Amino acid sequence: MPLSSIFKYLRLGVVPILALCAWMATARLDSAASERTFSIPTGEQLRTDLALSQWLTDSWNSRQPMPSHAERRQDSPRSFEIFPQDLDLVRHLPASVPFGGAIHRTALRYQLDSMLLAAIVEVESGFDARSISPAGALGLMQIMPDLASEHGGDPFDPSVNLEAGAKYFSALLQRFNGDLELALAAYNAGPTIVHRYGKVPPYRETQAFVRRVMAIYEARSRRDVQQASFTLAAPAVEQLAALR
């Protein structure tokens, strides 16, 4: 028998064997999939997964410039991320944070991170609801009297003060396209000054304010991930289920 005929018969025999192997593998995967059930991850699992996600995300995205908040669109290419940025995780402030409940509720209303709002309060007033600055700023978030009068109520009332300050800071964050440092600088020095310089202005007080808020915010956020002091909001359960 010619050598070419031998190779032909060998090829004809290999094809059915490969097809059979593929069919068996597919059947095994299907049977395994039917046995899998979705369960809500524990705090420990979330802590590990989110820490790994953050490390991988930072490692990848450090190689390329991140788009600004204004450049991000639903249909635009997204940066590498393990957990989607819009996954609805509700982070809780530690019990040791004064006015933690009021800060958390106010942050949710204005779609701010409660960790960030708490950091602003800590730097502005040291959580002293009766604080008055030499320039006349009042209360927890050191709001100016004209801003306090717009909202009415007692500016030394923590709820009133947080409401006015969070609403103002949220507007600044939108005005500066989600740039956190510029929004913080504008909260301290005023948006007109920040627009004039196009960056954090070269004022010692403003630069120190931005650095302190960012340092406290980042440190508290790291501790939050390490201690898994967050819970899944109800919609996030479905979001995680869709990822699996």
- Catalytic residue of the set 71, 122, 124, 205: 124
**Phi first, then psi: what are they for 38, rounded to 5°?**
-85, 130
Cα gap 156→185, rounded to integer Å: 23
Domain count, the chain: 1
pLDDT of the residue at 15: 52
Full residue range of the structural domain in which residue 122 is found: 88-243
Q: Give the CATH number of the domain where residue 118 resides.
A: 1.10.530.10
In a domain, 71, yes or no: no
Range of lowest pLDDT (76-80, 98-102, 183-187): 76-80
In a domain, 43, yes or no: no
Is 81 catalytic? The answer is: no
Query: Tokens at residue 194, please?
Result: 């920040």
- The answer, as to whether pTM is greater than 0.75, is no
In a domain, 148, yes or no: yes
Q: Which residues contact 184 (CB under 8 A, 6 or more apart)?
A: 120, 209, 210, 213, 214
Residue 63 carries which DSSP code? T
In a domain, 109, yes or no: yes
Side chain identity at residue 127, one-letter code: F
pLDDT tens per residue, range 180-202: 999 999 999 999 999 999 999 99
pLDDT of the residue at 194: 97
**Phi first, then psi: what are they for 173, rounded to 5°?**
-65, -40
Percent of the chain with pLDDT over 70: 54
* CA dihedral for 64, 67, 73, 74, sign (positive or negative): positive
Closest CA to 162 of 96, 88, 100, 94: 100
The single residue listed with the structure tokens 């953050």 is: 54
Residue 97 carries which DSSP code? S
pLDDT tens per residue, range 18-36: 556 666 656 555 555 444 4
